[in-house]
Amino acid sequence: MPPLILTPLPNIPLIRPGDNLADILLNALAVEKIQLQDGDILVLAQKIVSKAENRLVNLATVAPSPAALELAAQTGKDPRLTELLLRESNEVLRARIGSAIVEHRLGFVCANAGIDHSNVEPAPHPPPSPKGGGDFLPSPFGRGVGGEGEDWVLLLPENPDQSAAEIRANLEAASGAKLGVMIIDSHGRAWRLGTVGVAIGLSGLPGLIDERGWQDLFGYTLQITIVGVADELAAAASLVMGQAAEGTPAIHVRGFPYPLREGSLKELLRPKDQDMFR
């Protein structure tokens, strides 16, 4: 089995709305003298995909609803932020000071609907409202990081599987190679401290590998083993990316130990009727 090699692509500029991520990735690969081959995977931080897709929101334009005001009182969060949190969620599962645990509209459970405030620079011009964002109205809440009346946050991509598929199609067209593309984010876990990278969108690679029926070293037939290989790779890539000022939001992967196939976020999500903790 070939070694698994993860190579950070450091030559990624600050992403702006409308940027072509495939072109940017191809330029970064060329600088690193990496020629794409069949079986290669590109792992992308959610943040650069969201920025390219203009998922930036200026909190000064958000008018909180009564439900958002109630959640703000429960969590101690800015009511404009809780308004966005509610818009991005199917259901609020838990709320306490500092955090709200939600079922995101994409189906996974996460803190604060994945809304990001770190490494989010002000947009050069106020972007239009994100798709599905509802009404955005002037708001008198104070000043923030972007200047008077401006405080920018970043929502998750509207459809990360589709985003991954479009980037993959462009990369494959340019390279002629059969590839995988995965978009990852940092999530906490219910029973362990610390965040880890997890897949929130994928195209061209499996989310799960079902090893039931395989034999171990001693001939025992595996009965229940299903491996979340996309999340395993996401965690490894996140370790290489870093979480603060490293500036490496894209990782090239070679030597993934499983055949590529079509995959999606859906296969990673536990059905509610199997969820013992809700």
Q: DSSP letter at 222? A: P
Predicted local confidence at residue 219, as pLDDT: 72
Structure tokens at 185: 């984010």
Low-confidence ranges of the chain (pLDDT < 70): 118-150, 211-218, 221-225, 243-246
Quote the pLDDT of residue 116: 86
Tens digit of each residue's pLDDT (9 = 90 or more) over 30-76 = 999 999 999 999 999 999 999 999 999 999 999 999 999 999 999 99
pTM of the full structure: 0.85
Distance (Å, rounded) from C-alpha 188 to C-alpha 101?
10
Looking at residue 140, its pLDDT comes to 29
What CATH number does the domain located at 5-50+158-269 have? 3.30.1330.100
The DSSP annotation for 4-21 comes to PEEEE---PPPP-TT--H
Model pLDDT, residue 223: 65
Give the per-residue pLDDT at 139. Answer: 31
Fold of 56-154: CofE-like fold (3.90.1660)
Q: Where are the domains of the chain?
A: 5-50+158-269, 56-154
pLDDT in the model for residue 148: 42
Q: Closest Cα partner for 111 from 48, 156, 160, 147?
A: 156
